Amino acid sequence: MTGTRRRGRELALQALYQLDVTGGDVQTGAGDLWRHFGEDEQPAHIEESRAFAAELVEGVVAMRPRLDELITASAAHWRLDRLSQIDRNILRLGAYEIVGRIDVPASVAIDEAIEIAKRFGSEDSPTFVNGVLDHIATVAGAKEGRREL
């Protein structure tokens, strides 16, 4: 069984993707997703996953301009609008966890993003996501335990 946090990250990716496609807001755009996510899981796990996903989505949305700057600076020869919507949102999610959540080690944020890229992205997504997020972690000082925006 997939862990509660991994499921939360997957739901957050789906919500961010939906927001990217529709241009909607967090409450409206993700509402149906929150309701239907994890119906086949234990009730306690559903709520934990949903709560973690909501934290991630709200954090990404709040920091999106800065996250996009970091991604653009770290994705050599790629414009943000040329990235697939899946890869772009996996990167936003991973970058947010690296710079915006001191409770998540950078290595965990990167590993989780890679695993999600394997599941939802293209064949090249995991390697691309790893390279970009590793650069962001280095620039942000997250590998040394300090984090700078």
Cα-to-chain-centroid distance, residue 109: 9
What pTM, to 2 d.p., does this model score?
A: 0.86
The CATH number covering residue 122 comes to 1.10.940.10
Per-residue pLDDT band at 1 (split at 50, 70, 90): very low
Q: Quick one: CA dihedral 111, 112, 113, 114, positive or negative? A: positive
Find the domain containing 130 and state its range: 4-144
Indicate whether 149 belongs to any domain. Answer: no
So what's the pLDDT on residue 71? 96
First to last CA, the chain: 35
Inside any domain, residue 68: yes
66-120 residue pLDDT tens: 999 999 999 988 888 899 999 999 999 999 999 999 889 999 999 999 999 999 9
If one compares 12 and 37, the residue with the highest pLDDT of the two is 12
User: How many whole angstroms separate alpha carbon 19 and alpha carbon 3?
Assistant: 24
Report the share of the chain in percent with pLDDT over 70: 80
Q: Angle between the 106-120 and 85-100 helix axes, to the nearest 10 degrees?
A: 170
**Structure tokens given for 91:** 């990167």
pLDDT for 29: 46
